[in-house]
Structure 1
Amino acid sequence: MRRLLTLAAITAVFLLPVVAQQPNPADMETARAASRAQKSSVKRTAARAPAYLGCYKDQPVRDLGDASSQGPGMTAASCQAFCRSQNFRYAGTQFSSYCFCGNSFNRYGKRAESECNMPCSGNSRERCGGPWANSIFDLRSGTAVAAAASSPGPAMADVEAQRQLPERILEFRSETVVNADATLLVTETLTVHVSGKQIQHGIFRDFPTRFHGAWGERLQTPFVVVSVKRDGEPEPFGTEDFEQGTRVRIGSANTIVSPGDHTYELIY
């Protein structure tokens, strides 16, 4: 089955397996037994429940610019978990599928809640910011109760998910350089581990480049892709417009990618 997948830093599948490996029944039963054993030893532990701080304006020089992720499964919780894992205090969701992290915010001021009303790509009942607007959470506020297994082994759901999704993202980095003419040069690097026999490749990446100005005028940020590489070699790509900005299509659904670790670099 061939299809294009949205590029994600944390939550999305980056490559598509052509030949899926079937789970071993014996392994599955062993994992189920381990999961049942874990249920009897689950304990309750305290975890912090992030406090919602409001809707805040963003710009190309990000208000929360220390780390970011993007994907079709974005929710407030997944963004908070990502930023917490990177040891940042604040998490902000934007434009349905984007997540930004940092230790300070409010560089551009607060906005009306109506500007942060886009549904999360991973849960349409939640709101994940808007065009150039972050829904921001303080990860150090409040407490809540969360379940934690006392043994380090994976739960059954984790084992099955790993079998269904043999590709995993090992690392995501984003570096921004502000040029003398006030333009930005952004380099995104994504390292992916792929297991399986044959992997069919074809992805796209969306960039929100259209937004409303302070007086409601329609504005667009110039956007140019400088290069796309896979494992240091040029990778074919194309661009097209969509309602909120520019879509970059990377690679081809007919390209076979070998198992192992692969590094993708996108400069724009």
Structure 2
Amino acid sequence: MTINCKGQLIDLKSPKVMGILNITPDSFYGGSRFSDSKSVLKRTEAMLAEGATFIDIGAYSSRPGAAHVSEVEELGRIVPIIELLIKEFPLIQISIDTFRSKVAAECIQNGASLINDISAGLLDEQMLSTVAKLKVPYIMMHMKGDPKNMQSKTEYQNLINDIRKYFSERLRLAKDLGIVDIVIDPGFGFAKTLEQNYELLSNLELFRNIEHPLLVGVSRKSMIYKLLDKQPEEALNGTTALNMAALLKGANILRVHDVKEAVGCVKLAEQLKSEFIS
């Protein structure tokens, strides 16, 4: 189970960690927000040293109620950061968190490696064809609606079956266009109630037979801190617990704010799984 990132085959049979770098003023967790070059370089260097395989850069907050960001502003925020990181860390694998095809294309042209799209191409009809032309790995996430209205769209006939059907349809379209390396993300926190998020996590193994790598992003989300009556800043312990559950149920990539702790989870989970096999 590999993906090709700028000529490097990355084997996801051993789970990998994706560190979050938000170039936004309003992401829900303040610890992931960075704007000036010095802090971006320092944070990226730390995440790479702690074991991150990918750095996921976002310039448009997808939290409920986040401010609209124009395409021009999104590009203005993100392209200089890519150029900065590529210059400082030539071997870095950068993931671009965007639902806009033009942003995706310009970021790849400037050195990014893969596209992470919260809408699986549904918010920009040119996204799938653009990714196909770029020939880069594509992370497609499950979401209903858009970030502004998704929390009013939490009705499902059957949560797991509906999400599996969604991926079946989006994967077919992507493959018909020639997209080869596809990762699926069930979208924790996107168009799902707190209870639905836990139903999804408890049934995560049911997505294994889709036969694509699985990304899980629960880091410091409200499904953790609201349940524990905490704030995002106090949700590291809960994040670590759920990351371990996700790994044991088949996650191939953990998208996180706290790389060191996630890498530790991966090591422990791999040891547990090796004991089961032996």
TM-score range, shorter chain: under 0.3
Choose 1 or 2 for highest CA Rg: 1
Q: TM-score, normalised by structure 2?
A: 0.25
TM-score with structure 1 length normalisation? Answer: 0.25
Higher share of residues assigned strand: 1
By percentage of residues, which structure has more helix? 2
